[in-house]
Amino acid sequence: MSDQVVHGFTRSATGRIVLRIDDLERGLLSSLLEQLMEILQPEDREVGDPLQDLVGIDAHAEPPSDDVLARLLPDAYSDDLEAAADFRRFTERGLRQDKIAHARQALDSLAASGAKVTVSPDQAHSWLLALTDLRLALGTRLGVSEDNHDELIARAEQDPQASAIHVYDWLTYLAETLVRCLQSED
């Protein structure tokens, strides 16, 4: 039996989902999750109707000008700008809060553990959503698409963004290992 520790998500003999990471990976994940939460923080908005504020409806909601936010908070209706704006008014604040909560739960589980992070089913759900958002954000910044992903990985060593490409690939690996763990539960 090998003494080599497999990093990423695995399922233990008792059926629990475990993330194994080293200190460098923990620091990187923590930093990325913190940055994601910062990006998702709602912009200052005008104070509107108190009832609308109470239930989370914004008086006005424009599509984000930042490419990453536009990818994380896409328009619901690409062919109807008015319907898209209405949908955004009713949902964007809650969507931002949900995404921040998932990233926060993943970050909190990292902070509460050592090299082995045991993940509950609820935490696994949050981890998967947070990893997806991290991949979307970084992939948007790198210009990753289905058509160029393999090419980017292949030329990563010659690319000035090589470290970011490797981080994107590592996040993909983490998401894949978590999905495998969740599928093995069924």
35 CB-contact burial (10 Å; exposed 0-12 / middle 13-18 / buried 19+): middle
85, containing H or E segment = helix 81-111
- Per-residue model confidence (pLDDT) at position 26: 93
What's the order of all strands across the beta sheet hosting 116-119? Answer: 8-11, 17-20, 116-119
130 CB-contact burial (10 Å; exposed 0-12 / middle 13-18 / buried 19+): buried
- Per-residue model confidence (pLDDT) at position 121: 87
- Per-residue model confidence (pLDDT) at position 117: 92
pTM (2 decimals)?
0.85
Q: Are 106 and 11 in contact (CB under 8 A)?
A: no
- Per-residue model confidence (pLDDT) at position 182: 93
Average pLDDT for consecutive 10-residue bins of the chain (186 residues)? Answer: 68 90 93 97 64 56 86 89 83 91 96 86 94 96 81 71 87 96 80
- Per-residue model confidence (pLDDT) at position 28: 95
Q: Where are the alpha helices (DSSP H) in 6-80?
A: 23-40, 50-55, 67-72
